[in-house]
Amino acid sequence: MKCNSCGDSIGDIEIICHGCNEAYHFACSISERTYRAKANHAKLSWRCIKCRQGKSATNTDTRATASGSESEIDKETSDSDAEINPITFTTILKELNSSIKLLAEKFDQQNVSLKKLIEDNDKLTEEVKLLRKTVESKDKQIELLSQRINHLEQHKRRKYVEIHGVKQSKDESAEEKFQKISEEIGCADVAYKSVSQVSLKKGDFLLVKLKSEE
């Protein structure tokens, strides 16, 4: 058997190509060490360089043919899309411009509304300040009125005198008792309107209403 690469005879050691079924020297095809290191299935499927180059060329032609077909399909699809969708770049720009103008108008409207809200808020703030001042003024007036009422009550109480420790008796009236007490303490000339005998749980006393100085 001769080597398909160099044409010399092959002895006992040889390697067979799985593609063309031709014999080769290890020196003319693959190193013996590399071949021996391969797995059994790799040894059985080993191909010579001619078969490998032929397969590669076939695969390249197949891929080129497939790529050409895909390019034609893509071109046809692109042409079809161009026929179906007539929108041009200028039309798209016009639509975008219209959308931008619409958004700008809405923004201006929102800006006007915001300014109005700010103005209304400022007015309300001023009104609140005025109301606070009014409330403070009213509080001061209420305080003054309270002081005035207290003063009047104190002034009114000065017209009454309570004389405790005077027991109630049938033989002597309340006025007689007051006159007697007034003479004893040197105040017989005190002017009064009325004298009443009051009896309570805490004790009896005379309630004398004095005449006003006015």
148 within a domain of the structure (yes/no): yes
Local structure of 135: helix, strand or coil = helix
Q: Which helix (H) or strand (E) holds 63?
A: helix 49-84
123 within a domain of the structure (yes/no): yes
How far, CA to CA in Å, does 203 sit from each of 101, 180, 181, 208?
A: 96, 20, 18, 16
What average pLDDT score do residues 55-60 get?
Answer: 52
Give pLDDT, residue 13.
Answer: 63
- Reported confidence tier of residue 137, pLDDT bands at 50, 70, 90: very high
Q: How far apart are CA 116 and CA 213, in angstroms?
A: 66
79 within a domain of the structure (yes/no): no
Average pLDDT of every residue of the chain: 79
* Residue 22, number of CB atoms within 10 A of its CB: 17
Give pLDDT, residue 195.
Answer: 86
For residue 168, give the DSSP letter: -
How far, CA to CA in Å, does 7 sit from each of 3, 12, 23, 46, 47?
A: 5, 16, 10, 20, 18
Range from 14-28, 30-44, 55-69 carrying the lowest mean pLDDT: 55-69
How far, CA to CA in Å, does 123 sit from each of 111, 113, 115, 116, 130?
A: 19, 15, 12, 11, 11
- Owner of token pair 């026929």: 83
Statement to judge: residues 101 and 153 lie in one domain: yes
Judge residue 24's burial from the number of C-beta atoms within 10 Å of its C-beta, 0-12 exposed, 13-18 middle, 19 or more buried.
buried
What average pLDDT score do residues 45-68 get?
Answer: 64
Note the pLDDT tens digit of each residue in 176-196.
888 888 888 888 788 888 888
Residue type, 94: K
Number of domains making up the chain: 3
| 133: its two tokens | 């001042």
60 within a domain of the structure (yes/no): no
Statement to judge: residues 148 and 102 lie in one domain: yes
Local structure of 212: helix, strand or coil = coil
Contact (CB, 8 A) for 26 and 32: yes
The CB-based long-range contact list for 181-187 (8 Å cut-off, 24+ gap) reads: 181/206
Which domain, by its residues, includes 115? 95-158
Say if residue 44's pLDDT is above 90.
no
Say if residue 14's pLDDT is above 70.
yes
Say if residue 62's pLDDT is above 80.
no
58 within a domain of the structure (yes/no): no
65 within a domain of the structure (yes/no): no
- Reported confidence tier of residue 82, pLDDT bands at 50, 70, 90: very low
Statement to judge: residues 195 and 142 lie in one domain: no
Local structure of 27: helix, strand or coil = coil
Give pLDDT, residue 141.
Answer: 92
- Reported confidence tier of residue 69, pLDDT bands at 50, 70, 90: very low
Range from 28-42, 49-63, 71-85 carrying the lowest mean pLDDT: 71-85
Q: Which helix (H) or strand (E) holds 180?
A: helix 174-185
Give pLDDT, residue 77.
Answer: 43
Give pLDDT, residue 80.
Answer: 41
Say if residue 103's pLDDT is above 50.
yes
Say if residue 131's pLDDT is above 90.
yes
Statement to judge: residues 152 and 206 lie in one domain: no
Q: Which residues does residue 164 pair with via DSSP β-bridges, in sequence order? A: 205
198 within a domain of the structure (yes/no): yes
